[in-house]
């Protein structure tokens, strides 16, 4: 995928709107070319299929090296809450966009911090990227995603994301045909992915894989502050954290989710011809899986087939761990929800750990308002919106937040007024949905 940073006249739109239009046109051409290639493959026309694939690759190369793509990607990166205040204007912004390249090493410093995992004393090296690196990952996704299709039951990067995964899961649980469920997880998925395999198999070439997806030639800086006092117990050093961060896929990178989804799709694709999991329903989000079946025997056979398929894939050492087979009436945990079917009705509430985590965050933000560090309740408003977006299937969520807010009525009148607008919008949304159901 050639990059290049020359600003060509017809590829240098003066406005963001023009750049967005150009990017949309290129992405549409890629999708149409790949659709033509698939239609030709089904029809048995190898020449036409090869020609369409060649066109799609050319459009992707043009998107990755175009000034339009760089402008739109950098603008999207700066839309993030962390970078909004530092967005350059005018010529400085265009110069920063022109400096982006997918085939050259990044110039921004990447910070790495250690974060606790559930299993003590393991830790996870999390990468924090600046706007330029974030823009390069977005641009990589636009160019590479069309060439890395996923299954309809994968929700990490496409098909509606986490809310769609939860909604689909609740639909399946409500179906009384299924009686048993099992939740699985790929143990240490990202660190165990083979980097040499990625460079040889990603559709973007070795240089883009090394410099964007794996950031092998970028400048990194490890810091132990993110691990707190636990670093003393783990005997962590800057060198050990840096070494851990260079294993497999980068944790915290947008590009890693795209690549991981493609690997999972390859594994699931190998099971379709054998019909090994035809008798079960599967929902996948990142490295989390939920399988539902009518009988325990069907579920055990599907788990065995899925584990074998992951173990045989050349992308790395991928081992599935299972939390055990449970009855739907006993309940199970999936993506932060405690899901249970009781007398034909489905109950979905956040796990106690997630509720406690948000309660601590809510109290911390309330304390910031007391001392005047969060004028107008903007941070609290953002936290409540994120919480409701993450757990929108929890019907009592709004009432829980209101009850939590009552304790701060007198001390934090500004926060209450700010949050009331969110509640009004949620109530209005619920009313529209109920009206639509009644009309249908």
pLDDT at position 279, please?
83
pLDDT at position 4, please?
41
Binned average pLDDT, 10 residues per bin, the chain of 440 residues: 41 74 94 94 93 94 92 90 79 90 88 75 82 93 93 91 91 89 92 93 91 82 50 54 83 92 92 79 93 92 92 91 90 90 84 86 75 65 78 79 69 61 60 58
pLDDT at position 147, please?
93
Among 103, 272, 286, 54, residue whose Cα is nearest residue 185 = 286
pLDDT at position 116, please?
74
In this predicted model, what pLDDT tens digit does every residue of 260-314 receive, in sequence order?
A: 999 999 999 888 877 778 889 999 999 999 999 999 999 999 999 999 999 999 9
| Encoded tokens for 136 | 């390069």
pLDDT at position 343, please?
78
Helix, strand, coil abundance in the chain, percent, nearest 5: 55, 15, 30
pLDDT at position 10, please?
41
pLDDT at position 128, please?
86
pLDDT at position 370, please?
63
pLDDT at position 108, please?
86
CA angle 379, 380, 381 (to 5 degrees): 90
Q: What are phi and psi of 122, to 5 degrees?
A: -75, 155
Identify the H or E element spanning 127.
strand 123-128
| Encoded tokens for 159 | 């098909």
In this predicted model, what pLDDT tens digit does every residue of 142-195 receive, in sequence order?
A: 999 999 999 999 999 988 889 899 999 999 998 888 999 999 999 889 999 999
pLDDT at position 386, please?
80
User: Which DSSP symbol is given to 248?
Assistant: S
């Amino acid at each position: 995928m050639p990059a290049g940073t020359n600003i060509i006249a017809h590829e240098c739109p003066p406005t963001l709107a023009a750049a967005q239009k150009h990017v949309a046109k290129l992405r549409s051409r890629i999708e149409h070319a790949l659709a033509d290639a698939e239609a030709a493959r089904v029809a048995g026309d190898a020449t036409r299929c090869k020609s369409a694939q060649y066109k799609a690759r050319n459009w992707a190369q043009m998107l990755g090296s175009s000034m339009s793509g760089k402008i739109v990607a950098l603008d999207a990166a700066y839309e993030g809450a962390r970078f909004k205040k530092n967005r350059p204007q005018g010529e400085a912004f265009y110069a920063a966009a022109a400096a982006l390249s997918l085939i050259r090493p990044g110039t921004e410093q990447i910070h790495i911090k250690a974060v606790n995992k559930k299993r003590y004393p393991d830790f996870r090296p999390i990468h924090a990227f600046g706007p330029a690196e974030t823009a390069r990952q977005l641009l990589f996704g636009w160019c590479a995603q069309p060439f890395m299709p996923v299954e309809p039951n994968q929700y990490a990067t496409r098909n509606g994301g986490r809310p769609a995964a939860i909604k689909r899961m609740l639909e399946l649980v409500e179906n009384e045909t299924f009686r048993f469920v099992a939740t699985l997880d790929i143990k240490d998925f990202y660190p165990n992915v083979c980097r040499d395999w990625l460079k040889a198999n990603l559709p973007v070439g070795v240089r883009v894989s090394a410099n964007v997806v794996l950031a092998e030639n970028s400048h990194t800086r490890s810091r132990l502050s993110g691990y707190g006092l636990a670093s003393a117990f783990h005997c962590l050093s800057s060198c050990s954290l840096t070494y851990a961060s260079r294993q497999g896929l980068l944790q915290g990178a947008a590009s890693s989710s795209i690549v991981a989804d493609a690997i999972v799709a390859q594994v699931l694709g190998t099971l379709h011809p054998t019909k090994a999991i035809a008798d079960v329903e599967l929902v996948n989000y990142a490295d989390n899986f939920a399988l539902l079946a009518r009988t325990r025997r069907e579920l055990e056979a599907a788990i065995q087939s899925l584990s074998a398929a992951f173990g045989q894939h050349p992308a790395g050492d991928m081992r599935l761990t299972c939390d055990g087979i449970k009855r739907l009436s006993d309940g199970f945990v999936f993506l932060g929800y405690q899901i249970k079917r009781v007398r034909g009705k489905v109950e979905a509430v956040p796990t106690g750990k997630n509720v406690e985590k948000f309660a601590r965050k809510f109290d911390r933000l309330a304390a910031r308002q007391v001392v005047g560090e969060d004028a107008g309740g903007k941070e609290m408003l953002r936290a409540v919106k994120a919480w409701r977006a993450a757990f929108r299937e929890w019907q009592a969520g709004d009432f829980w937040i209101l009850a939590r807010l009552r304790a701060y009525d007198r001390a934090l009148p500004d926060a209450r007024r700010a949050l009331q607008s969110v509640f009004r919008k949620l109530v209005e949304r619920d009313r529209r949905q109920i009206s639509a159901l009644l009309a249908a």
